[in-house]
Amino acid sequence: MFVKILLIGVFVAASMAVVKDGRLLHRAGLVGGCTQLSATAPDGGTWQSCTRGRLEDYPNLAGKSCISFGIKRGREFWRCPATVVSSQAPRA
């Protein structure tokens, strides 16, 4: 009896870890996500191509100062400014 309870607990914990990670849900098409395109904007910014999921709509990148350029063929395209990278090590 104790072994059954232990196995169920391990199964529940593993299921929670998989769902929290999100990669499996994204591959199954349940949640949306974005990928960076290889083309860069002239000012050093990046282009993002986002897909919608079955449970969620397109990701909103407006909070990251990105500008939406519309939806084409099931993908929403965003232009995001160049990321600022700060380093603790000084450059020579």
Mean pLDDT of the chain: 82
Residues facing 68 on adjacent strands: 78
Q: For residue 26, what pLDDT is reported? A: 77
Residue 11 lies in a domain: no
- Could you give the number of structural domains in the chain? 1
Residue 38 lies in a domain: yes
Segments of the chain scoring below 50 in pLDDT = none
Reported pTM:
0.63
- E strands, the chain, are 33-40, 46-51, 67-72, 75-80
- Decide: residue 19, CB within 10 A, 0-12 exposed, 13-18 middle, 19+ buried: exposed
Q: For residue 40, what pLDDT is reported? A: 67
Q: For residue 84, what pLDDT is reported? A: 54
Residue 62 lies in a domain: yes
* Segments forming the whole domain that contains residue 63: 31-82
CA atoms within 13 A on the CB side of 92: 0
